[in-house]
């Protein structure tokens, strides 16, 4: 197995120069870099990454924390992060917090234990104060979620405006009794999406009925249970807005269990445009977030912080799309 000394002899330079080439130092002449690269390739030399990390005090690992690893919404986001990370010489580790603050705290302790160089979190179970304490010392970026009154770098969309646009679309179809399936009220993005619903109704002078607003778990079972609860209470509604696509899918199944058809008997819309949304029957009208761009920007922000640079923007608000499919139906008059 070739060593750094073999590469140095082959290319006619010192081991220090070989090390600078491997570390992509700018202080190497192009012709020297070309000779070293050629020797590395010819000898099939693989640098000792552990030794490099010891010298540089960097692991070259970044950690991505998801609420649930199985949620396909994050697939393109992770791909975007990997695109940026790999280009910068970093590896990406992905873990799921399952909404467990104790588990998430353990993940953040990997920073102080020098197991990772930075964290991008899409979860929100760790208390803000604890996250800010880590952010004072280590690179941290928040993706798709954010917190009030904090300078933590984040990448997201305008959830309130997106939700308002979604509700207005249903109102324009003639719906006036619109149910809202809200997520956990302690998570800011779900509060913003609920505010969008309330703002849309208020602007159209449609009375807000608290009986039509149900908090539920942000998953299929949560939507299923919530809509059955509404139907059992005999509350009248013609449309359902779910704060997430999985909730919307659960709501459609709940309506079906009462022999109600979507969109014929009730329109249903979701939020996030996960892969299932276009494949489910009926296909789901929803808000599409720019997952790839969220991954790219959160990755860029984190690498800026790791390299000691202030991100160009600590609060990136990206564009979104209203995707109209079968589940919202047509104009009802």
User: In this predicted model, what pLDDT tens digit does every residue of 126-179 receive, in sequence order?
Assistant: 888 888 889 999 999 999 987 767 778 999 999 999 999 999 999 999 999 999
Distance from C-alpha of 250 to C-alpha of 100, rounded to nearest angstrom? 23
Whether the upstream peptide bond of residue 281 has omega within 30° of 0, thus cis, is no
Q: Sketch out the chain's domains with CATH numbers.
A: 4-47 (1.10.260.40), 56-156+290-318 (3.40.50.2300), 159-289+322-328 (3.40.50.2300)
Task: Spell out, as residue ranges, where the chain has pLDDT lower than 50.
Answer: 50, 54
User: What pLDDT does 51 receive?
Assistant: 53
Distance from C-alpha of 199 to C-alpha of 280, rounded to nearest angstrom? 29
Closest CA to 76 of 249, 275, 324: 275
Paired residues of 143 in beta bridges: 155
Distance from C-alpha of 10 to C-alpha of 52, rounded to nearest angstrom? 21
If you search the block for the tokens 């603050």, which residue do you land on? 101
User: What pLDDT does 56 receive?
Assistant: 52
User: What pLDDT does 45 receive?
Assistant: 82
> What is the three-state SS of the chain?
CCCHHHHHHHHCCCHHHHHHHHCCCCCCCHHHHHHHHHHHHHHCCCCCHHHHHHHHCCCCEEEEEECCCCCHHHHHHHHHHHHHHHHCCCEEEEEECCCCHHHHHHHHHHHHCCCCCEEEECCCCCCHHHHHHHHCCCCEEEECCCCCCCCCCEEEECHHHHHHHHHHHHHHCCCCCEEEEECCCCCHHHHHHHHHHHHHHHHCCCCCCHHHEEECCCCHHHHHHHHHHHHHCCCCCCEEEECCHHHHHHHHHHHHHCCCCCCCCCEEECCECCHHHHHCCCCCEEEECCHHHHHHHHHHHHHHHHCCCCCCCCEEEECCEEECCHHHCCCCC
Backbone phi, psi, residue 128, to 5°: -55, -45
User: What pLDDT does 44 receive?
Assistant: 83
Tell me: the pLDDT tens digits for 261-290? 999 999 999 999 998 999 999 999 999 999
The Cβ-side half-sphere exposure at 180, using a 13 Å CA radius, reads: 29
If you search the block for the tokens 């979104």, which residue do you land on? 320
Closest CA to 309 of 60, 111, 118, 82: 118
Whether the upstream peptide bond of residue 263 has omega within 30° of 0, thus cis, is yes
User: What pLDDT does 54 receive?
Assistant: 47
């Amino acid at each position: 197995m070739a060593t750094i000394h073999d590469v140095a002899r082959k290319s006619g330079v010192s081991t220090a120069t070989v090390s600078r080439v491997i570390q992509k130092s700018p202080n190497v002449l192009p012709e020297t870099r070309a000779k070293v690269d050629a020797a590395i390739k010819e000898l099939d030399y693989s640098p000792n990454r552990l030794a490099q990390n010891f010298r540089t005090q960097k692991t070259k690992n970044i950690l991505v924390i998801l609420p649930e690893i199985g949620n396909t919404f994050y697939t393109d986001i992770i791909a975007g992060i990997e695109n940026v990370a790999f280009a910068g010489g970093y590896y990406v580790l992905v873990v799921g917090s399952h909404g467990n603050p104790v588990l998430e705290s353990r993940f953040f302790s990997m920073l102080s234990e020098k197991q990772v160089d930075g964290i991008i979190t899409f979860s929100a179970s760790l208390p803000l104060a604890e996250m800010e304490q880590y952010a004072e010392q280590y690179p941290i970026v928040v993706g798709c979620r954010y917190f009030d009154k904090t300078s933590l770098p984040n990448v997201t969309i305008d959830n309130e405006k997106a939700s308002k646009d979604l509700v207005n679309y249903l109102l324009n179809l003639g719906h006036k009794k619109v149910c809202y399936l809200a997520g956990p009220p302690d998570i800011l993005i779900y509060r913003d999406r609920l505010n969008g619903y309330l703002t849309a109704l208020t602007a159209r002078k449609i009375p807000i009925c608290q009986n039509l607003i149900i908090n539920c778990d942000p998953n299929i079972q949560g939507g299923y249970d919530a809509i059955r609860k509404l139907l059992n209470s005999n509350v009248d509604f013609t449309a359902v807005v779910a704060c997430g696509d999985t909730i919307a899918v659960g709501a459609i199944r709940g309506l079906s269990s009462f022999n109600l058809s979507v969109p014929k008997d009730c329109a249903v819309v979701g939020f996030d445009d996960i892969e299932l949304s276009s494949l489910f029957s009926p296909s789901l009208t929803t808000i599409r977030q720019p997952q790839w761009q969220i991954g790219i920007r959160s990755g860029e922000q984190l690498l800026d912080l790791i390299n000691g640079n202030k991100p160009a923007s600590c609060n990136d608000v990206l564009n979104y799309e209203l995707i109209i499919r079968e589940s919202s139906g047509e104009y009802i008059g």
